[in-house]
A and B are shown apart, each in its own frame.
Chain A
Amino acid sequence: MHSRDKLASARRDLRERDVRVVILALVVAVATVATIGLFAALLQKTLVTSASAFLAADRQLEAEHGRPIPQAWWQEASERDIRTAHMVRFSTMVFGDAGFQLVSVKAVDDHYPLRGEIEMQPDASADREFVGQGPRRGEVWLNPRLMRLLALAVGDSLEVGNLSLTVSGLLLREPDGGFSMASLAPRIMMHADDVAATGVIQEGSRVEYVALFAGDESALEGYHQWLRPQLEPGHEWESVRDGETLSRSLQRAERFLLLGGSLAVVLAAVAVAVASREYALGQRDTVALLKTLGMTGPGIGRLYLRRLLLWGSAGCLGGLLVALPVYWAMAEVLEQVLARPIDSTLELRGLVPALVTALVSLFAFAYPPVRRLQKVPAMWVLRSEPGEASRRAWSDMLLAGGAIAVLVWLYAQEVSLVMALLAGLTMLLAVLALVAWGLILVLRRVAGGATAWRLALVALYRHRRSTLSQISVFAMTIMLASTLLLVRTSLLSDWQNQLPEQAPNHFLINIAPSDVAGVAAFWSERGYPLEALYPMVRGRLTELNDQSVRQAVSKDREVRELNRELNLTWMARLPEDNQIVAGRWFDDGARVGVSVEAQLAERLGLRVGDRLGFTVGSEVITEPVTSIRTVQWDSMKPNFYMAFPPDSELRRLPATWMTSFHLPSERKSALNEFAVRYPTVSVLEVDHIIERIQAIVRQVTQAVEAILALILAAALVVMAAVVSATLRDRQREGALLRTLGGRQQLLVRSTMLEFALLGFIAGVLGVLAAEAAVWALQQRMFEGDVQWHWGVILPIPLVSSMLLAVFGRWQLAPVLNVSPMLLLRRLE
């Protein structure tokens, strides 16, 4: 064929409805998978960047033993094209006009922060500014509360050790402000190069050197690999993902995106499969005709292969033309939500899964029936033989299942996800087979009659083959869409529970026992009552089963909690969000025992019954482990590694109290008054951390909703494609029924009923299969509680039956409003 002829033949193809449906399915497939792929990549990048701000970098290396980071390590990082910054943290006394104060100092170099920004005010009356650099040499920024405590103003000088620094700003927020109770003293920030001149740091002082790294993910990973063997126990490597506060939310969001993308892949494959099979089966007459005209089997094979390739390319191109604008629009929305510019350059890698999905599903589903067309006898032109179709159904289904599994695996690289989806789908098909069998048995007994119900039932039975294939596809589509809906619902409510509107955003620490009542009254008078108050005794874990803990815990386990003081507490009741995983909680009036946090217990290899010795000051308390419990670290409430019973020996030791409460940002001025009245109580302000987490959760939520909307739209298109596959037959039947005396209303009612029944059955099966898949997914991926989601199970069958009834009505519309005469003419 000449190329012009080929073009003409392609245009002729396009006039066929089946071909248009195949191409439409491909377009939808590529568009959905590509959009989700691109958006997921963008979101991941954005999330990691915004989460990285918590470290002020992509990675941090902390040296807690008071020795600076070796020069060679800096060298290696810069050779790997990793940007670096360094800072020094220590505590000291500072002197101002109104006296002295213990402060925690953060000395930073010119490159700090590598990620995120510092929020400061050049003057108490000036506007807030976001700056990318700390104070210059000779200058210092102070926490506003410290400013008040020391009665300083901008321009005054502050003595830090031997050095006098000029106060040049108010430090409002550091990106890596963190949430550690180690730094309870108010913060000052100065330049790292000034540290030596202060003379504060000497042999044996408590000081932390911190290296910040930012750069390409693979470079950072490579650097970590290089560095790991050289790290000492006092070194700690931190990445965003290790951070306790955000990691779980981030991980879940990523998994949701992965799941959404995988579902899009499956949906797309189903759409292409349905459309292309329909096409292939419809081509039998044409093939037989071509054969009578003298075309050979292999020639026909080549012809159709060429066509599939052509449509594959057309579909991919069309899909991209849809996906790219949608992606840019979504990026725009994300930018608005975040209120900051994001880098929305196209990640070409995000497009690969879409193209692979389209081509694999086109060839896995369309090619087998098309290839079999070669074997269609020329005789088919004259008369078809019965019972030809079903023999290959099994091998086709295996191929289809295999193709879907491989696609999802390629996309998600997550075996449990593939298994959960495949198990859900297989179960669905098995149940479908059973239901179908029962349905046919029941429907067979329905005799015809002029009521819409009976006509609908009879039609379901008459078209049992298409009934079954439609129910299967609808049920699969509904299953996939409701899986995502269910996961999204539990994801969002989980996040909501984690950080409710009134989540505590301020901690009060170091409350003397005599002040407890006064502090509680101070805040409840102002309408911000305190949450639970916890006693706190600081002590080290020193003995394990009467051995020194250093010897008892094997050397290769690096447990940083052994290097520092732990907050020990006593409590009568288990906090609501804690869960006992081994042993049992203290009985009323218990005096002995300690409850250990589960992760620490695992790192130390602790079991119930082990004896732990704690050194508090000069005293040693020894208690057996009576329970191990999990703690919600991201709950923003006081959490403790070690909890003792209320009447334990710990009670004899001097304790201070801590608590948390919610204070709205517009009432923060109350803190000044509080600081004056209770100068010894430390206030830890975490409101900005909570705000940032809430912002990230909001942004992830938006993304989750957008992806859900995309998937639902794709599901609708798939359903419409399936319904329209039988459009011609349906319209023909409608026309004939009208000629034979079927009233319009009867036709409308029976058709809508028929589709409503179809939709209902598919809805029930689909939503139940989704529950099963979600159950499997929750177990492995989202670690949530398993429960029946009645709020989804009940409405979905109703919605799907209504939706399909409307589809049915729409399909019949061309038949209803013209005279039967015209219809007959059209049919001739």
Chain B
Amino acid sequence: MSESLSQSGACNQPSACNQPSACKQPSASRDTLLKVSELTHQVNLGSDTLTILQGVNFEIKRGESVAIVGRSGSGKTTLLGLMAGLDSPSQGRIELDGEAISELDEDQRARLRAHRVGFVFQSFQLLPALSALENVMLPLELAGHQAPAEQARDLLHRVGLGERLLHTPRQLSGGEQQRVAIARAFASNPSVLFADEPTGNLDTHTGRTISELLMALNQEQGTTLILVTHDDQLASRCQRRFAIEAGRVQEFEGAL
């Protein structure tokens, strides 16, 4: 899993897209996987209302890899969650794979997540009581897969954990746990994978292995990859990079 599939520097989508008028794109074209329009998100903190995102617009095409960077607390994870349909925005519209997820209810979004969305988290989020295999089987079972065990075993082989199927998370190292999480994220063959600081809890070397794995699966399966990261190295390997600052999203080229 360590062969280089690096795409670093291969960002071929220029244009900053903060104003929809300045960025003419066909709405919901076949190539567009995700379209965010006039997205604003606020949270209530007691009497105060905190605006986290304001007037965000952008589109992401199928198969692209996108990094979202920004300072801690700038709203990266919130944006990721909204795009993945984990929460609904205060205002604006989000279309994922042709469906306006901002207009779906929680159960409809859940069904969408079950079939088209994969997740990787900074702290892995594996269930401690379950073996690696059972952890990977979870989304397959939720999606009603016919042979979840075979599929999960296959995926674990592909991330290099074929020998550790029955180990529980406590018996695995951080890198191994994240690989289980990645296998789980790809299990339902999603059209988009959201990763929240996937290398944040790992050392540089392990982090690199994980990012290579993500990139490789992105390439092999054509899965769109959207990740939030502090890791410059990981960000630089994505085709596109967005920076969040003061609730606004700005696309940029080159290093931060």
- Where the two chains meet, the residues of A that have a C-beta atom closer than 8 Å to any C-beta of B are 383-386, 447-451, 454-455, 458, 462-463, 465-466, 729, 732-733, 736-746, 819-822, 824-825, 827-828
Contact = CB atoms under 8 A, between A and B. Distances in A.
B127 interface: yes
A745 B148 contact: no
B123 A827 contact: yes
A827 B128 CA distance: 13
B86 A820 contact: yes
Interface stretch (B59-67, B130-138, B154-162): B130-138
B148 A729 contact: no
A522 B128 CA distance: 85
B129 A819 contact: no
B138 A739 contact: no
B98 interface: no
Given A448-B148, A462-B130, A821-B81, A741 B142 contact: yes
B145 interface: yes
A448 B150 CA distance: 12
A168 B78 CA distance: 97
Contacts of A451: 144
A742 B125 contact: no
B227 to A, nearest CB: 15
B111 interface: yes
A740 B110 CA distance: 7
Given A448-B137, A821-B87, A822-B87, A736 B111 contact: no
B141 interface: yes
Given A450-B143, A741-B117, A819 B87 contact: yes
B127 A732 contact: yes
Given A465-B129, A741-B110, 6 more contacts: A463-B129, A466-B129, A736-B125, A738-B110, A743-B107, A821-B81
B58 interface: no
A729 B110 contact: no
From A454, A732, A738, A825, name the one whose CB has the most chain B CB atoms within 10 angstroms.
A738
Interface string B53-82: 000000000000000000000000110011
B141 A827 contact: no
B214 interface: no
Contacts of B81: 819-821, 824
A741 B170 CA distance: 25
A592 B214 CA distance: 104
Nearest to B105: A744
Given A383-B171, A741-B115, A729 B142 contact: no
Contacts of B141: 448-450, 454-455, 458
A776 B121 CA distance: 57
Given A739-B86, A820-B86, A828-B122, A744 B171 contact: no
B170 A729 contact: no
A385 B112 CA distance: 39
Contacts, number: 105
Given A386-B171, A736-B125, A827-B123, A741 B143 contact: yes
B119 interface: yes
Contacts of A739: 86, 113, 119, 125
Nearest to B140: A448
A321 B71 CA distance: 53
A385 B106 CA distance: 40
Contact of A729 (B113, B129, B140, B167): B129
Contact of B113 (A384, A740, A825): A740
B170 A384 contact: yes
Interface of B: 77-78, 81-82, 86-88, 106-107, 110-115, 117, 119, 121-123, 125, 127-130, 134, 137-149, 167-168, 170-171, 173, 184, 188
27 contacts: A383-B173, A448-B137, A448-B145, A449-B141, A449-B144, A455-B141, A455-B142, A458-B141, A462-B129, A465-B129, A729-B127, A729-B129, A732-B127, A736-B138, A739-B113, A739-B125, A740-B138, A740-B142, A741-B115, A744-B106, A744-B107, A744-B110, A820-B87, A821-B78, A821-B81, A821-B86, A827-B125
A45 B128 CA distance: 55
A742 B119 CA distance: 13
A740 B87 contact: no
A82 to B, nearest CB: 67
A451 B143 CA distance: 10
A118 B130 CA distance: 75
B148 A384 contact: no
Given A462-B129, A462-B134, A824-B121, A741 B87 contact: no
Contacts of A729: 127-129
Nearest to B196: A824
A466 B188 CA distance: 28
Q: Which of A451, A466, A827, A828 has the most CB of B within 10 A?
A: A828
A729 to B, nearest CB: 6
A445 to B, nearest CB: 11
Contacts of B115: 741
Nearest to B172: A383
Contacts of A745: 107
A737 B142 contact: yes
Nearest to A726: B129
Given A383-B171, A821-B81, A824-B86, A743 B110 contact: yes
A825 B77 CA distance: 9
Contacts of B129: 462-463, 465-466, 729
Contacts of B127: 729, 732-733, 736
A743 B114 CA distance: 9
Contacts of A819: 81, 86-88, 106
A384 B171 contact: yes
A450 B142 contact: yes
A741 B139 contact: yes
B114 A740 contact: yes
Contacts of A822: 87
B123 A828 contact: yes
Contact of A743 (B77, B111, B140): B111
A740 B139 contact: yes
B170 A383 contact: yes
Contacts of A454: 141
A465 B130 CA distance: 11
Nearest to A450: B144
Nearest to B141: A448
A742 B110 contact: yes
Contacts of A466: 129
A57 to B, nearest CB: 67
Interface centre among B81, B115, B188 (most CB of A within 10 A): B81
A458 B140 CA distance: 13
B77, B141, B167, B168 — most chain A CB neighbours (10 Å): B141
A448 B122 CA distance: 27
B223 to A, nearest CB: 16
A560 B184 CA distance: 88
Nearest to A729: B129
Nearest to A746: B142
Contacts of A448: 137, 140-141, 145, 148
Contacts of A744: 106-107, 110
Contacts of B149: 447
The 3 A-B pairs with the shortest beta carbon distances in the complex, nearest first, are: A741-B114, A448-B141, A450-B144
Contacts of A455: 141-142
A537 to B, nearest CB: 81
Nearest to B194: A739
B88 to A, nearest CB: 7
A735 to B, nearest CB: 9
A381 B65 CA distance: 36
A742 B86 contact: no
Contacts of A463: 129
A462 B120 CA distance: 22
A723 to B, nearest CB: 15
A455 B134 CA distance: 12
A384 B170 CA distance: 6
